[in-house]
Amino acid sequence: MTLPKPRDPRRSMRFEKVFRVLVEAEDMGPVSAVARNLSSGGILIETPVAFALGSIVRIHFEFPDTSGSIAVRAEVKNHYAWNYNEDGEPKCARGIGLRFHEFLDDGAERLIRSLDAPRTFH
């Protein structure tokens, strides 16, 4: 008997890019974080603080290959935790999965142009 393949809920291709972002929420000041992957519909961010599920945050970043910064409103959809070993020591990190709701200015067009640009994979 063959089991059905699980459905991947992602609607668009994700790009593994690591870059700095600034996350702002109404109940706390700006938090510097690191983006781990990105798509036209959302982003995974490693962050030192946990934002509440369902909360709306504003993200500012300069995506490699784009000119100017991109600002977007997004909803916190998931919490993640990573446990790993570095130099023989246990380490951990946490992150949030965000779904984009609204791009500010012309950020959507700039991001989509960058994501659609030809890439060389090695």
Residue 31 and residue 24 in contact, taking contact as beta carbons nearer than 8 Å: yes
Identify the three-state secondary structure at position 111: helix
Percent of the chain past pLDDT 70, that is, above it, reads: 70
Confidence of residue 11 (pLDDT cuts 50, 70, 90): low
**pTM for the full predicted model:** 0.72
Per-residue pLDDT reduced to its tens digit, 45-91: 999 988 999 999 999 988 666 567 888 999 999 999 989 999 999 99
The domains of the chain, with CATH numbers, are 19-108 (2.40.10.220)
What mean pLDDT, rounded, does the chain reach? Answer: 80
Identify the three-state secondary structure at position 65: coil
